[in-house]
Amino acid sequence: METIVFSLLNGVIYGLLLFMLSSGLTLIFSMMGVLNFAHASFYMLGAYFAYTISDASSFWLALVFAPILVGLVGAAVERWGLRTVHVNGHVAELLFTFGLAYLIDEVVKIIWGRNAVDYQIPELLDFPLFELFGAQYPAYRIFTLFVALAMLVALWFILNRTRAGLIIQAALSHPHMVGHLGHNVPRIFMTVFGVGCALAGLAGVIGGNYLVTDPAMAVQMGPIVFVVVVVGGLGSLMGAFLAAMLLGLLQTFAVAIDANFADMFGWLGLSPTSEVGRISIASLAPMIPFLMLVLILMVRPRGLLGDREL
């Protein structure tokens, strides 16, 4: 019972964090066709900016300004980087973001050092919210949950209920038509790229002290974010949401389950002492995202809710 409750909570929170990261990537990918390899680096930047700001002032200022800063950096990258590279085609853009990821990595190492920085949870939220089955549940985790939900609602509202959202959605599928209607499509692209990066930055702000803020965080998170986007389906925010939750839950449940292959497949005659029978479900957890990726590409190449083939 406690396993289920804890895994549900942890899974949902991790899933929401993943969604926050991948929503920006999905937006950028579906609109500009750019697979932004540097997306996780913006997540890292968010965490580092938040660390610096909260060190100098307070976490709450960081919560507001770090994502904005990251968004501005993202917009600048689009305006002066990607846009110039764009004329050379998608491969050039891909390579550009690839290089950018390394560049950001190195810059972060130069500025903040190679080690984890002491980015701490704000004191106001540094208390156990409740105790469940003997284990305390940190309030900050629940706070993360609410921030992610608020972002989810806001994003949904902007995209579906406002004029700006309407234009963005139109620019996603018919950029030329939107341009002919008199909208400044490059500016829309820049805004979307900036907002996408800001969302990643926000994920960094609340994920950086929930996990650890170190120069390796981008490299660790990067592949998983891609899995979410591909599994969810290109261009589908809802799909990304589903994929992120699915991944978060599957991974945490896998860790929590105390069983090995022999327990599951014992009826096939698999003995608990054999090589295969000894493999525990928990040890498979980090493999799950990639297993999902492979399976989904085989069974349903356009992803859970995608409307385009890869």
Partner 1 sequence: MKLVKSAALAAAIAFVSTAGASAESLKIAFIDPLSGPFGPSGQAGLNEWNYAAAQINAKGGVGGQEVEIIGLDNKVNPKESLVQLQKAIDQGVRFIAQGNGSSVASALIDAIEKHNKRNPGQEVLFINYAAVDPAFTNERCNFWHFRFDADADMKMEAVTDWVKGQDSIKKVYIIGQDYSFGKAVAAAAVKNLGEKRPDIEIVGNELHPLGKVKDFTPYIQKIISSGADAIITGNWGADMVLMIKAAIDSGYKGPILTYYGGSKGAATAMGAAAVGQVKAIVEHNTNLQLSDAQTAYVDGYEAAYPEDNYYYHRIHNAMNMLAMAADKAGSTEPKAIAFALEGMTYEGPTGTLTMREDNHQILQPLFMSTFSDNVTRGVEKLPLGWVSGDADRIEADATRTETTCKMERPS
Contact flag: residue 274 with partner 1 (CB under 8 A): no
- CA atoms of 137 and 296, how far apart (whole Å): 34
Q: Is 88 near partner 1 (CB under 8 A)?
A: no
Rule CB under 8 A: choose which of 115, 160, 173, 184 binds partner 1: 115
Query: Under the criterion CB under 8 A, does residue 99 sit at the interface with partner 1?
Result: no
Q: Is 226 in the site for partner 1 (CB under 8 A)?
A: no
- The correct pick among 137, 158, 167, 186 for binding partner 1 (CB under 8 A) is 137
Among 134, 163, 176, 273, binds partner 1 (CB under 8 A): 134
Residue (10 or 36) nearer to partner 1, CB? 10
- Quote the CA–CA distance of 246 and 228 in Å, as a whole number: 9
Q: Which is nearer to partner 1, 193 or 253 (CB)?
A: 253
CA distances, 237 to each of 7, 155, 198, 275 (Å): 24, 9, 16, 41
Distance in angstroms (rounded) separating the CA atoms of residues 172 and 108:
32
* Greatest distance between any 2 Cα atoms in the chain: 70
The total number of residues shown for the chain amounts to: 310
For partner 1, the closer of residues 11 and 67 by Cβ is 11
Phi and psi at 130, nearest 5°, equal -155, 165
Mind spelling out the 3-state secondary structure of 44-95? HHHHHHHHHHHHHCCHHHHHHHHHHHHHHHHHHHHHHHHHHHHCCCHHHHHH
Q: Taking CB under 8 A as the rule, which mask of x and - marks residues 228-267 in contact with partner 1?
A: ------------------------x--xx-x---------
Nearest distance in Å: CB 114, partner 1? 6
Tokens found for residue 112: 């903040």
The least distance separating partner 1 from the CB of residue 277, rounded to whole angstroms, comes to: 15
Please report whether residue 219 would count as binding partner 1 according to CB under 8 A. Answer: yes
Residue of the chain from 80, 89, 91, 131 that contacts partner 1 (CB under 8 A): 131
CA neighbor of 234 nearest in space, from 174, 301, 178: 301
Residues 6+ apart with CB under 8 A from 18: 224, 225, 228, 244, 247, 248
The distance of closest approach from Cβ of residue 244 to partner 1 in the complex, given in angstroms and rounded to an integer, is 14
Q: Which residues bind partner 1 (CB under 8 A)?
A: 2-3, 6-7, 10, 14, 113-118, 120, 128, 131, 133-138, 140-141, 210-212, 214-216, 219-221, 252, 255-256, 258, 280, 282-283, 285-286
